[in-house]
Chain A
Amino acid sequence: MRDNFKMQIRNTLPQLRNYNISPRLLFAAGLVALFVAIPLVYIFFRAFTGGAEVWMRLLQTRIWKLLANTLLLTAAVTGGATLVGVSMSFLTERTDLPFRRIFRWMLAMPLAIPPYIGGIVHLTLLRPRGGAIPQLLAEWFGQPVPTPSPLGLGGAVFILTLFMFPYVYLLSGAAFRSLNASLEEASRTFGRSNWHTLWEVTLPALRPGITAGALLVALDVLAEYGTVALLRYETFSSAIFVQLSGRYDRSAAAVLSGVLIVIAIIILWGELRLQGQARFTQVDSQWRPAPPHHLKRWKLPASLLVAFVVFSSLLVPLIVLSMWSVQALLDPDTLASIMRSGSQTFGNYFWNSLWSSALAAVIAVLLSLPVALLSVRYPNKLTQAISRFCQVGYAIPGVVIALSLVLLVNRYLPFLYATPLVVVMAYVLRHMPQAVRASESALNQLSPSMEEASRTLGRTSLQTIVQVILPLIVPGLLAGAGLVFLTSLKELPATLLLRPAGFDTLAVRVWIWASEGFYIQAAPAALLLVIASAAPLYFLLRREQIFR
């Protein structure tokens, strides 16, 4: 079975056979890989030359607790997001759940809400005693009712699961849709019950989609700063931030960063092993969609479950942020305070967010092109390695990129230091993998025969790229750019550490107000950030069949 798939893939791989690798292309891709590698190598260098004394101090005091905290949170959120994501995609894709078309949209939209913003909203609602819900309960029952605290591990797992499950939901949803009906039918023919079929046939077939989603969640949890800082749960990311901003200790920050990157690389490697060689998503000519399951008496509970997830991950944040924003806009003092910072105004923050994220998106996609062209058209060990290498940014959290850029730029490119370009550079480094993956998948869908024709007609490789390939893969590149734009808009820790004076973004404004407890003041920027993120997300989802 597996061998068949492999054969199929090998035969359809759109590589160019008759032309040698263009040295210019290789050079360009190599430069890109070098650019991506510099911060990584530098952090490792700093971490392992940080001095035995720093290592000893951290090993004795911090690292073990941080390691336990970080791994526990990562495992719990990944598990939670997988459970929620797969069950939501199953219910909306494979059952006769009422309103599933609208639910499909609503379950994907929490991706537009940065977890720290969701965390701010849920924290004000759920905080023990002071939160809106505990106070309401106390009023109803006439006495305080103990409620679960959103602080600490439990709260962090709850919040991060709520706002990260859409990764798994979207990827497993795509896998559910491409599932061939014959697979489940065969299982049932052999006498398996529906339940057994789900566990033994359907879910294993979905494994690539699910692990890909879980990987994104795990790496995002490792990189998350805002939420864990807000809910006061210490992980490597937040500890690095404290070392950087709380005390002047670059060595300790570098050591912690080195350990964090190692964890992330282990997770990346684990995903590769889990994925194995198989690609189950290949579609053969016999394909037909599997029929939906009938929920029958489970219809009501299932609908309530989906409604609860939609309610707490999308509607609650939107409603609360809207209410606060209205409150902020109606109060002249509050309005005045949020409209200005120094000589900068609200429009400046919005514009800063937009142009820095957009520039990062354009640069990331441009840089991803040579890498993707090489790895798709001339697949060999070297080009695959370059491509993988350019995706390591996934594994480097924003704080770590900020740390390496602060050290490197201030030392070697001081004229660039404290310019918005450094912020853009951090976005590019961090979100490059999304651009590389999008460009690769766009190129994969393009038959190499066009290029071969162009080359046969005497065009050089560069002319072929510019005149033939680029025009055809523009939609795919736009998708990559959209992803980079979306994630850059939400980026917080690197922006906080690298922003020059007067260059605050929406995310930074939200954080500055909220970290002091001024949630109403933070709301308009937060709401605008969510709306600005929802636009590219909408565009990206529309590309998917079911979201049309």
Chain B
Amino acid sequence: MKSYSKKLFGLLFALALLVSACGGGKAVSEEPVPATEPAAPVVTEASAISGDLVIYSGRSESLIQPVLDAFQAKYPNVKILLKSGSNSELANALIEEQSNPQADVFVTTEIFTIQSLYQRGIFQSYRPVGAELLPAEFVGPEDSWVGITRRARVIMYNTELVSAEEAPTSIFDLTDPKWKGQIAAAGSTNGGMQAQIAAMRQLLGDVDTQEWLVALMANDVTFFGGHTDVRKAVGAGEFKIGLVNHYYYYLQLAEGSPVGIVIPDQGEGQIGLITNATSAAIVKGAKNVPSAQAFLDFLLSAEGQKLFAGLNYEYPLVAGVPLKDGVQPLDDFRLADVNVAEAALDLDGTLDLMEAVGLP
């Protein structure tokens, strides 16, 4: 008798562990898939938007969290489960999960990755409210994704160490030996840098892009894991020059550092300013489609655009949303002409190139 009760106890204990463990996890997998028409915008009461909303975000957490908070304030019944990581890490997770989808929304900091995921059939179609106000090239084919804000690849410099006349005006000036050891940039694991190289391969071809990368490395450019290190190093005078996304200049300026900005490659025959865009899409097989659609609508709403762009000095893509005070408009600059679909097709080629030259 006693031994049976012990056995029973053991069994119950194991069961309890299992149950508590499952309870600790998210309950998404047990919830029924809402029977909504994925493609049609669902107009729902705010209170009807509820449940777990799983967001995979490649955007820096300090920049997405206030947006999530604002969305949460609007839809208090939604529980947001955020998975932050690098663009590629999350993209790979989405590919792995294609037959067993876990995420509802994917937010990324450039459009090549999201376009290549579209080509693999990862997303479902949805045209958010406000999509008609986006420039046409920032709505993915079959309404698979939408752009949110634009960002540009610029040169920032420390104004105490470099004068405005002296500052390089082209990204190709960064290979000039007079800046040897004075330049900081982000390395091969950084999404912004990857996207720049992908764009350059299309604009110039592999040979010239590779030459440029080799020359940067020969010029003792220091490659950091992310741009925050780069901007702080330039702001502190540790390096004279940094190759960054434009908002890192504004973020550093806001900290009171003596920094200047160059919008590069505007001269005759030069490639123009390389830009990219943050973007978002709804995953095919998402379990909480109404909330996901509400989230995309929110990102393109005036409030969402102002918040998303303003937090980070970016350029709202929706027409008519004002720029944050002090941000230089891009209207007067020539932008590099990059074909997104083509660049997206050959992302592996970009990774191969970085690996071949041994970019840190």
Contacts and interface: CB of A to CB of B under 8 A. Distances in A.
Contacts of B65: 337, 340-342
Interface stretch (B42-50, B146-154, B223-231, B321-329): B223-231
Contacts of A27: none
A245 B86 contact: yes
B178 interface: no
Given A340-B69, A342-B68, A502-B83, A419 B189 contact: no
Given A342-B81, A463-B3, A61 B355 contact: yes
Contacts of B78: 343
A501 B96 contact: no
Interface residue range, chain A: 35 or more
Contacts of A517: 224-229, 232
B91 to A, nearest CB: 8
Interface stretch (B22-30, B130-138, B163-171, B257-265): B22-30
B162 to A, nearest CB: 16
A298 interface: no
A500 B238 contact: no
Interface string A443-485: 0000000000000000010110011000000000000000000
Nearest to B232: A517
Interface in A104-123: none
Interface stretch (B53-61, B196-204, B335-343): B53-61
Contacts of A352: 24
Contacts of A521: 62
Contacts of A195: none
Nearest to A340: B65
B50 to A, nearest CB: 12
B81 A414 contact: no
Contact of A406 (B85, B89, B91, B96): B96
A485 B2 CA distance: 32
A419 B22 contact: yes
B187 to A, nearest CB: 7
Contacts of B88: 245-247
A320 interface: no
A155 to B, nearest CB: 13
Given A344-B82, A518-B228, A130 B102 contact: no
Interface string B1-43: 0010010001000000100011011100100000000000000
Interface in B310-328: none
Contacts, number: 143
B26 A503 contact: yes
Contacts of B83: 499-502
Contacts of B189: 242, 246
B25 A466 contact: no
B85 A245 contact: yes
A247 B92 contact: yes
B351 interface: yes
B119 interface: no
Given A245-B86, A421-B25, A501 B97 contact: no
B229 A501 contact: no
A247 B189 CA distance: 10
Interface of A: 61, 129-130, 230, 232, 242, 244-248, 337, 340-344, 352, 355, 359, 362-363, 406, 410, 414-415, 417-421, 424, 460, 462-463, 466-467, 496, 499-503, 512-513, 515-518, 521
Interface of B: 3, 6, 10, 17, 21-22, 24-26, 29, 52, 54-56, 60-62, 65, 68-69, 72, 78-86, 88-89, 91-92, 95-97, 99-100, 102-103, 187, 189, 223-229, 232-233, 236, 238-239, 347-348, 351, 355, 360
13 contacts: A130-B232, A232-B187, A246-B351, A247-B88, A337-B65, A414-B100, A418-B102, A420-B24, A421-B22, A500-B102, A501-B81, A512-B85, A516-B225
Given A129-B233, A230-B225, A248-B96, 17 more contacts: A130-B232, A130-B233, A245-B85, A246-B92, A247-B347, A248-B91, A341-B82, A342-B55, A342-B65, A342-B81, A363-B17, A410-B97, A424-B21, A500-B25, A502-B52, A515-B226, A518-B62
